[in-house]
Amino acid sequence: MKIEILGTGCAKCKALEKNAMEAVAKSGKFALIEKVEDITKIMEYGVMSTPGLVIDGKVVSTGKLLSPDEIVGLISD
Amino acid sequence: MFDWWQKIVDSLVYGKLGLDSKSALGSALDFFLFDTAKIFLLLTVIIFVVTVIRSYFPTEKVRDYLEGKHPLVGHIAAALFGIITPFCSCSAIPLFLGFIQARIPLGVTFSYLISAPMNNEIAIAMLFALFGWKITALYIGFGLLVAIVAGIVIGKMDLEDEILIKPPAAKPPKLEEVKIPFKERAKEAWDYTKDILKKVWLYIIAGVGIGAFIHGYVPTETIVKYAGGDAWYAVPIATVLGVPMYSNAAGVMPLIEVLTQKGMLLGTALSFMMAITALSLPEAMILKKILSIKLISIFFGVVALGIMAIGFIFNGILG
């Protein structure tokens, strides 16, 4: 599983990355977490409000700081 | 609407504490207690309601709607969407490029980009709490006018080459809409409201505190001499002063309230408020990464001219 955090470096984006790490640890799954800061790449996903959360190439949330538990819910589907 | 609260505060300050309603201390304290409670109550309610409504209008939806619309319809719709969509200057870059990528004209994009921060929830809530619905409506109405006209002017100037980063040509995938139950939206909006209040409460207390001091201690003639009157330079000075104050909008608004009570003209006050929200230095710094200095200067210049025009017109009619 690959989790991408889309964000150009705002405070919320960093917080989302941290929550994603926590969520992966909690869920016990194997997942690669990658922070995407390149604006061109973010645009390719069609995301306009950061931070965005992408799981296996699919945008699951935009413009929101999800809590670790919410992310656990998204990755265990 | 808040008469009952004024009565409670009056009886507390002038009755229980026995202060004279004509004294500086009495009227300053009365003003402070009345204003802070009213502001916090209205701020909480308005931010919460606005945030719930906005959760139904993500910017991605706005982009899809504006795509391929007639330019004039585009300008008007973009400015209107600025009121009901959430906006954070930290997202200004992906937002700007997202619009351009969807081939929304540059001018229409600017209409949105001017309207959105101007109609931010804190400014609206503060305006409503301090000045009532009429001034709030005037502010929103003329704010929309500035956004539409400035967007049209910028659109006519052929500035597309001043965008430094070209978004990928490929059309972005349509995002699937996630169904969120109302209860969850309300919870998120409540968390957000608490976040905002945590950020601004100190500014508000400070702003109302200084305002209360002026209200009680500074004579009206002093204010009229320095901030009010019909001197032609009042409006430009107010506009320039507004630029560095974006993050403190909540603290500055109570000051403007007192200044208008003490003789600052309404047009000057409107220009000041619009400059605070629409001309934001942090946003300009962020946009500098993708726009040329020339385009940013034109953007600021056109909006500043529009804001000053509103100020002059108002002072001319009412002054």
Instruction: Enumerate residues 6+ apart whose C-beta is below 8 A from B141.
Output: none
What is the CA B295 to chain-centroid distance, rounded?
22
Write the pLDDT tens digit of every residue in B210-258.
Answer: 988 888 888 777 767 766 666 778 889 889 888 888 767 888 888 888 8
- Which helix or strand (DSSP H or E) is residue B102 part of? none
How high does pLDDT run on average in chain A? 87
The closest of B115, B153, B162, B135 to B277, measured between CA atoms, is: B115
Provide the token pair at A53: 């959360």
pLDDT bucket at A77, cuts 50 / 70 / 90? low
- Which helix or strand (DSSP H or E) is residue B69 part of? none
Helix ranges (DSSP H) in chain B:
3-10, 24-54, 59-66, 71-84, 92-101, 106-118, 121-156, 182-217, 220-226, 234-242, 249-261, 266-278, 281-287, 293-318
Select from A43, A60, A63 the Cβ nearest to the Cβ of B91: A63
Instruction: Enumerate residues 6+ apart whose C-beta is below 8 A from B61.
Output: none
Helix ranges (DSSP H) in A1-77:
11-27, 39-44, 68-75
Peptide bond into B254 cis (omega under 30): no
Selected residue with higher pLDDT from A44 and B299? B299
The closest of B66, B73, B68, B9 to B35, measured between CA atoms, is: B9
Contacting residues of A for B86, CB less than 8 Å apart: 49, 63
Tell the burial category of B264 from Cβ atoms under 10 Å away from its Cβ (0-12, 13-18, 19+): buried
Show the domains of chain A with their CATH numbers: 2-75 (3.40.30.10)
Residue B74 has pLDDT above 90, yes or no: yes
Tell me the C-alpha distance between B124 and B304, whole Å: 20
Q: Answer yes or no: are the C-beta atoms of B14 and B29 closer than 8 Å.
A: no
How high does pLDDT run on average in chain B? 87
A39 to A32, B91, B101, B166, B306: CA distances (angstroms): 20, 11, 12, 10, 32
Q: Using the structure block, give the residue that is written with the tokens 């202060």.
A: B19
Asked if B60 lies within 8 A of A10 by C-beta distance, the reply is: no
pLDDT above 70 covers a percentage of chain A that reads: 99
- Taking the CA of residue A65 and the nearest CA in chain B, the distance in Å comes to 10
Select from B86, B94, B175 the Cβ nearest to the Cβ of A39: B94
Nearest CA in chain A to B290: A39
Residues found in chain B: 319
Determine the average pLDDT of the residues in A3-28. Answer: 88
Select from A12, A43, A62 the Cβ nearest to the Cβ of B168: A43
- Taking the CA of residue A9 and the nearest CA in chain B, the distance in Å comes to 9
Q: Give the number of other Cβ atoms within 10 Å of residue B313's Cβ.
A: 14
Determine the average pLDDT of the residues in B41-57. Answer: 90
- Cα dihedral value B267, B270, B272, B275, nearest 10: -120
- Catalytic annotation, residues of A: 10, 13
Nearest CA in chain A to B64: A46
Chain B residues in contact with chain A using a Cβ-Cβ cutoff of 8 Å: 58-60, 63, 86, 88, 90-91, 93-95, 97-99, 101, 165, 167-168, 170, 172-176, 178, 188, 290
Give contacts of A 9-48 with B, CB under 8 A: 10-12, 39-40, 42-48
Write the pLDDT tens digit of every residue in B139-150.
Answer: 999 999 999 999
- Which helix or strand (DSSP H or E) is residue A37 part of? none
Please spell the DSSP secondary structure of B207-252, one letter per residue.
HHHHHHHHHHHS-HHHHHHHT-TT-TTHHHHHHHHHGGGGGGHHHH
